[in-house]
Amino acid sequence: MSAGFRTLAASDLDRTLIYSSAALALGMPDEQAPRLLCVEVHEAKPLSFMTETAAALVQRLAAEAEFVPATTRTRKQYRRISLPGPVPRFAICANGGHLLVDGRTDQDWNAEMRRRLADGSVPLAEVRAHLARVTDPAWLRKERVAEDLFAYLVVERSLLPENFVKDLTEWADGRGWTVSLQGRKIYTVPKPLRKSAALEEVVRRTGADQVLAAGDSLLDADLLMAADAGWQPGHGELADSGWRAPHVTPLATVGVAAGEEILRRMLAQVAAGAEDGAAAA
């Protein structure tokens, strides 16, 4: 990474850079499937993948910029992932509730986020009580609490009532919470718990001159809005909802190939930013 112009590249992981076996192709014929690298194993089973080309690109990106994974995963779930290259200096977990520095939890940051949550949204217990009232065992598979910060449901999508997510979103919005449907999971997350909040802290600590971001879900919208340039794949909540921002490029590419394209776009922007910085010096 250049000691002069500094770029920070923050990216969501699941369905942006890494993909489960169910999400790999998204319509791609088997004969066109690229060579893959497994980056996550859980209970002795391969769980998440990226293409071998994307694996090489993410190592280049980490060498040329401050690469920051930004995920809604808990710290435990994030640590199951083995991305190519060295451990990132910073990683955003639990949708911004935790900031890892050299792989270790920054306790001061977590305490700060919990203070913000206490002021900006109803308690988690109230949300969980509401979820218990409105969910049905016919389609609910699991209800989980993540880091004592937010809750999510694992559902059978084919049996989910048509207006459930809409109704839950309306209920949550007035109480300072947001709702996101990602695959088989429905997340309920307090609004102050944002990836962009942790990103701003990382930018402050690194003094980055240029911030890039990528993501596919509504929980990534604030991350993208906080960047100078961003990219969203052709699949996911943002694509399905038609979400747009002037500095965010919606890609046509879907599935695991989108991870490759995002990394290529980021690397090109890193190079362009370095050239602009050198010209201005």
Write out pLDDT tens, residues 210-223: 999 999 999 999 99
Of 1-15, 142-156, 246-260, minimum mean pLDDT range: 1-15
* pLDDT score, position 47: 94
* pLDDT score, position 218: 95
The whole-angstrom separation of Cα 130 and Cα 210 is: 42
The pTM (predicted TM-score) of the whole model is: 0.93
* pLDDT score, position 90: 98
The model's pLDDT over 123-165, given as tens digits with 9 standing for 90+, comes to 999 999 999 999 999 999 999 999 999 999 999 999 999 999 9
* pLDDT score, position 245: 97
The model's pLDDT over 10-64, given as tens digits with 9 standing for 90+, comes to 999 999 999 998 777 655 667 777 889 999 999 999 999 999 999 999 999 999 9
Q: Residue 54: enclosing H or E segment and its boundaries? A: helix 52-64
Over the chain, what is the mean pLDDT?
94
Average pLDDT of the residues in 82-97? 96
Residues sharing a CB contact under 8 Å with residue 270, sequence separation 6 or more, in sequence order: 7, 9, 61, 64, 65, 210, 212
* pLDDT score, position 26: 57
pLDDT at 229 over 50: yes
pLDDT above 90 covers a percentage of the chain that reads 86
Crossing angle (nearest 10°) for helices 107-120 and 195-206: 140
* pLDDT score, position 198: 98
Compute how many other C-beta atoms are within 10 angstroms of the C-beta atom of residue 228.
15
The whole-angstrom separation of Cα 152 and Cα 254 is: 25
Query: In one letter, which amino acid is 112?
Result: E
DSSP secondary structure letter of residue 121:
S
* pLDDT score, position 28: 64
Collapse the DSSP code of 110 into the 3-class scheme (helix H, G, I; strand E, B; otherwise coil) and give the result: helix
* pLDDT score, position 2: 47
In degrees, to the nearest 5, what angle opens at C-alpha 23 toward C-alphas 265 and 138? Answer: 140
